[in-house]
Amino acid sequence: MTDTSPSSAPLLIIGAGLAGWTTVREFRKLDTSTPIVLVTADSGDFYAKPTLSNAYAQKRTPAQLVTTPAVKMAETLNVTLLAHHHVQSLDTAAHNAVVTHNAQTHTLHYSRLVLATGAQPIRIPVGGTAADQVKSINNLDDFGTFHQALGLDPSAAEPAAPKTVLIMGAGLIGCEFANDLVLAGATVHVVDPSPRPLALLLPAEAGEQLQAALQALGVVWHLETTVTAVDSADGGLRVQLADGNSVAADLVLSAVGLRADTTLAAAAGLVCERGIVVDDMLQTSATDVYALGDCSQYASAGQRTLPYVMPIMNAARALAATLAGTPTALVFPLMPVSIKTPALPIVVAAAHPALAGTWKAGDGDGIWQFTDSDGAQRGFVLTGKSTARRMEQSKATQP
């Protein structure tokens, strides 16, 4: 079926993650009557994605991570929710989206379109007979699958024996999962080609502090090497490393990063680079098509993708105002990120990666400041008790 009536054409949002739902919420504060259709391939339940990497130690089940069921979100925000629907293609000239559900296809006509398609895990090719058993956690369904594999299913007759988990990647997500899983009772190994964790984000001394703190909890590090193969062995897995060593594990979790999901946008002819390219108004290269969240490459951030919560919240407020009739350029403030590693709490305000500068120790333990060639502070890292100085360091930092 095709609805082509201009008067009934809704605002169409694709994606029910934080970016999609926050845009709806902010828009409804300004416009309570414009029809909204939200299309998502999953259930549409609202949850905070960052909780996926610190829920195991808290013994939280997948169901407990849902803060608001999809039906309640749709009812409260006056949205037509099309859950478990897949957008197959876009015709941005005709303002149409082709959608499938239960093997049936129909066309949605929209007035304006918001792409909030998120990001997908980067998967590093590995060899071995069990390479297909390497898992990633990027959404609530992934979390549920891994939760069950860990033996944390509350319906199980008896608790499973503690598992050994090997994590590929010592970046932000890999370190958060390492901390969470070791606190949940797992034996954790972390493999990364860098010489220390969070090597691209932290000064060397801070990375070494984190490495030592997680090692004290029991995390086993395999740095400056990579996973080459995952094989089935002795009822579990045998993970071969490039340095010649191997690790016996029950589960392998890939946490090597995310890549903006531009598949739909690129197929529709939108300009995409590291993400869907948007201007300061969050408009893509197509008329009446906008994008935000993990799928976007922001002009306002120096043509960067920003896969964090605060950029999404800022972008959603600006876009909602624009969609409601008040054109609003997106301006990002300084947005420090809290890394969920309770073994060593960390706050990072990263400078633009293309900015030349140096790290220097601040006036106290656990403080580092990034200064540019003119001596201006452009970023900072705080660890441990010094995270309490977040506001002070934010005021001293130029965004």
Q: Is 328 a member of any domain? A: no
Q: Please report the beta strands in 60-118, taking only residues with DSSP state E, as ranges in sequence order.
A: 66-68, 80-82, 86-91, 96-101, 104-109, 112-115
**Tokens for 345?**
């709490």
Asked if 40 and 94 sit in the same domain, the reply is yes
Phi, psi of 245, deg, nearest 5 = -80, 165
pLDDT tier for residue 353 given thresholds of 50, 70 and 90:
confident
293: left (phi over 0), alpha (psi -120 to 50) or beta: left
Q: Is 55 a member of any domain? A: yes
Residue 269 sits in a domain whose CATH number is 3.50.50.60
- Containing 253, the helix (H) or strand (E) segment is strand 251-254
Q: Is 340 a member of any domain? A: no
CA distance linking residue 126 with residue 242, whole number of Å:
11
CA distance linking residue 139 with residue 13, whole number of Å:
18
Q: Is 337 a member of any domain? A: no
Asked if 108 and 55 sit in the same domain, the reply is yes
Q: Is 335 a member of any domain? A: no
Asked if 262 and 375 sit in the same domain, the reply is no
pLDDT tier for residue 399 given thresholds of 50, 70 and 90:
confident
Domain count, the chain: 3
Name the percent of the chain in helix, strand, coil, to the closest 5: 30, 30, 40
**Tokens for 380?**
């900072």
Asked if 53 and 91 sit in the same domain, the reply is yes
Asked if 358 and 303 sit in the same domain, the reply is no
CA distance linking residue 34 with residue 398, whole number of Å:
39
Position 100, amino acid: T
Asked if 38 and 135 sit in the same domain, the reply is no
- Based on C-alpha coordinates, what's the Rg of the chain? 22
pLDDT above 60 (res 252): yes
Q: Which residue has the higher pLDDT, 354 or 324?
A: 324
With a CB cutoff of 8 Å and minimum separation 6, the contacts of 35 are: 8, 10, 11, 80
Q: Are 277 and 285 in contact (CB under 8 A)?
A: yes
Q: Of all residues in the chain, what percent carry a pLDDT higher than 70?
A: 96
Residue 381 sits in a domain whose CATH number is 3.30.390.120
CA distance linking residue 104 with residue 106, whole number of Å:
7
For residue 322, what are the CA distances in angstroms to 27, 80, 169, 300, 329?
Answer: 9, 21, 38, 15, 8
Asked if 139 and 157 sit in the same domain, the reply is yes
pLDDT tier for residue 234 given thresholds of 50, 70 and 90:
confident
Look up the domain containing 388 and give its range.
345-395
Asked if 150 and 197 sit in the same domain, the reply is yes
Asked if 236 and 300 sit in the same domain, the reply is no
CB-CB neighbours of 225 under 10 Å: 14
Among all chains, which residue has been given the structure tokens 């959608």? 99
Last residue of a domain, one of 214, 234, 254: 254
Q: Is 1 a member of any domain? A: no
Q: Which residue has the higher pLDDT, 155 or 386?
A: 386
Asked if 64 and 92 sit in the same domain, the reply is yes
The overall average pLDDT reported for the chain is 94
Q: Of all residues in the chain, what percent carry a pLDDT higher than 90?
A: 89
CA distance linking residue 97 with residue 68, whole number of Å:
27
DSSP readout, 294-333?
GGEEEGGGTSB---SHHHHHHHHHHHHHHHTT--------
| pLDDT tens, position by position, 254-295 | 999 999 999 999 999 999 999 999 999 999 999 999 999 999
pLDDT given at position 310: 94
Q: Are 329 and 280 in contact (CB under 8 A)?
A: yes
| pLDDT tens, position by position, 152-201 | 755 555 666 789 999 999 999 999 999 999 999 999 999 999 999 999 99
- Containing 291, the helix (H) or strand (E) segment is strand 289-291
| pLDDT tens, position by position, 1-41 | 334 344 579 999 999 999 999 999 999 999 999 999 999 99
Q: Is 175 a member of any domain? A: yes
Last residue of a domain, one of 254, 282, 301: 254
Asked if 34 and 14 sit in the same domain, the reply is yes
- Containing 144, the helix (H) or strand (E) segment is helix 140-149
- From the number of C-beta atoms within 10 Å of its C-beta (0-12, 13-18, 19+), residue 7 rates as exposed
Instruction: Please list, residue by residue across 260-291, b when 16 or more beta carbons sit within 10 angstroms of its beta carbon and e when fewer do.
Output: bbbebbeebebebeebbbbeeebbbbbeebbb
**Tokens for 255?**
């946490």
Last residue of a domain, one of 225, 254, 283: 254
Q: Is 151 a member of any domain? A: yes
pLDDT given at position 6: 42
Mean pLDDT of 289-318: 95
Asked if 36 and 142 sit in the same domain, the reply is no
pLDDT tier for residue 251 given thresholds of 50, 70 and 90:
very high
| pLDDT tens, position by position, 88-142 | 999 999 999 999 999 999 999 999 999 999 999 999 999 999 999 999 999 999 9
Q: Which residue has the higher pLDDT, 2 or 324?
A: 324
